[in-house]
Chain A
Amino acid sequence: MIISILSGKGGTGKTTAAVNMAVSLAAKNEKVLLLDADVEEPNAGLYLKPVLDESMPVSLPVPEIDEERCDYCGECSEFCQFNALAVAQEIVLTFPELCHGCGGCTLVCPKEAIKEVSREIGVVEKGCAEAVGFWQGRLNIGEPFAVPVTRALKEGLADLKDSVVLIDAPAGVSCPVIEAVRGSDFALLVTEPTPFGRHDLGLALEMVEHLGIPHGVVINRAGDDDSIISELCQEKNVPIMLEIEFSLSLASLGAKGIPFSKVLPNWQEKFYETYLSIKEKCLCAN
């Protein structure tokens, strides 16, 4: 089962929810794997302190020109939607940082003068943190395309049928989030009772509805009045799966880099119960 954790708004507590869920499931002897798919800034490892023993580079195929074969016809540069190739008189220039790696230039070249070479854009690292399996993707600084790293990170998930996979998604609702979330059995939307939290939850709800993923909401930093969120959930008929109260003790554990459910057994129970109700909803959905 794959549960992705997303939010729309940044800083609502996706990673908090993801690591605490992971720790709680592991404490209940569930086989659990956490994927940090926030490849632009993976930070779940700060809580879990995993030992990473596997590292695999992620590359994009970019064009390399065989000057002997090239007759500077310009078909490659005309084809490229991203202007990653330019033909100027008898010189072909490539701009690898603009290349999306589609391979189109190699297909349209009438002289077969273009071959693809790898350009490393990031890395996938695998390991574990005690009983929690842990994988993360990391995009190299300055690279514009997160999606290929996310895609590489998710390779091999299909072989893990007996694990609960938790995917910690990036903020927002754009391509890297969609790549992280797609194929999930359930989406847990973490929000906070603020106008920004509500606004961006609305966007995230629209996205998961569009993707057809069953979903529920976690209210983080919940207080006396969470109506700003609960009203939206009611209106949209979305269940609130868990509330994490705004408390000094939870915040100070977080500040020390300790997942609070590691030291507070009642939170293990709450997260486990949340997991069980997700499981039930997934069974009903199928």
Chain B
Amino acid sequence: MKIGVSATGKDLESLMDSRFGRCNYFILVDPDTEEFEAMDNPGVSAGGGAGIQAAQAVMKQGAEAVITGHCGPNAFDVLAAGGIKIYQASEKSIEEVLELYKKGELKEVTTPGKANRGKGSR
């Protein structure tokens, strides 16, 4: 099983990015083995529809769930259509977030958040 985590960096020590569509990277990780790879988020440079693009990209890489902070309505629709589960976490390191996921302490998101939350600089 592969999980896509929105990330500020390319390894497990880096912080999770609370933005979904506008994060710099996704860490695709198997929570059991902790094997991972990082991918660039193509949505980061999108004029509009960043979340849509990001959602498609992580699905294409085979993610079956995502962990992020906020997921807007468009990205939510795409992930939901693809049957991808969305878990919400706060900005901790990817390692810590994974631990919480494994303990079942992350909340599954079942309703979309606000649009355009991650737009603009941090």
Interface residues of chain A, those whose CB is within 8 Å of chain B, are 74, 77, 81-84, 86-89, 91, 93, 95, 98
Given A93-B77, A93-B81: A88 and B48 interface contact (C-beta under 8 Å): no
Q: How far is the CB of A93 from chain B (nearest CB, A)?
A: 6
Nearest 8 A-B pairs (CB), nearest first? A83-B49, A88-B82, A88-B81, A91-B81, A83-B52, A86-B78, A83-B53, A98-B49
A86 B47 Cβ-Cβ under 8 A = no
> Is B89 interfacial (CB-CB < 8 Å)?
no
Task: Report the bound CA distance from A19 to B22 in whole Å.
Answer: 45
Count the A-B residue pairs with Cβ separation under 8 angstroms: how many? Answer: 46
Please list 8 pairs of residues, one from A and one from B, whose beta carbons are closer than 8 Å in the complex, sorted by A's number.
A83-B49, A83-B50, A83-B52, A86-B81, A88-B59, A88-B79, A91-B81, A93-B78
Interface residues of chain B, those whose CB is within 8 Å of chain A, are 43, 46-50, 52-53, 55-56, 59, 74, 77-79, 81-84
CB neighbours of A95 from chain B (8 A): 49, 52, 74
CB neighbours of B55 from chain A (8 A): 86, 88
Question: A77-B56, A89-B82 are known contacts; what are 5 more A-B pairs with Cβ within 8 Å?
Answer: A83-B43, A86-B81, A88-B56, A88-B83, A98-B48
Task: Report the bound CA distance from A83 to B43 in whole Å.
Answer: 9
Q: How far is the CB of A24 from chain B (nearest CB, A)?
A: 43
Task: Report the bound CA distance from A36 to B81 in whole Å.
Answer: 43
B49 A82 Cβ-Cβ under 8 A = yes
A89 B47 Cβ-Cβ under 8 A = no
CB neighbours of A74 from chain B (8 A): 56
Closest to B74 in A: A95
Given A77-B56, A95-B74: A89 and B81 interface contact (C-beta under 8 Å): yes
B52 A86 Cβ-Cβ under 8 A = yes
Task: Report the bound CA distance from A87 to B53 in whole Å.
Answer: 10
Of the candidates B46, B59, B82, B83, the one whose C-beta lies within 8 Å of that of A83 is B46
A88 B78 Cβ-Cβ under 8 A = yes
Q: How far is the CB of B55 from chain A (nearest CB, A)?
A: 7
CB neighbours of A91 from chain B (8 A): 81-82
CB neighbours of B47 from chain A (8 A): 81-82
Task: Report the bound CA distance from A74 to B84 in whole Å.
Answer: 18
Given A91-B81, A93-B77: A86 and B48 interface contact (C-beta under 8 Å): no
Task: Report the bound CA distance from A204 to B9 in whole Å.
Answer: 43
Q: How far is the CB of A121 from chain B (nearest CB, A)?
A: 15
Closest to A84 in B: B49
CB neighbours of B74 from chain A (8 A): 95
Closest to B75 in A: A86
* Residue picked from B48, B50, B55, B77, most chain A C-beta under 10 Å: B48
CB neighbours of B77 from chain A (8 A): 86, 93
Q: How far is the CB of A143 from chain B (nearest CB, A)?
A: 13
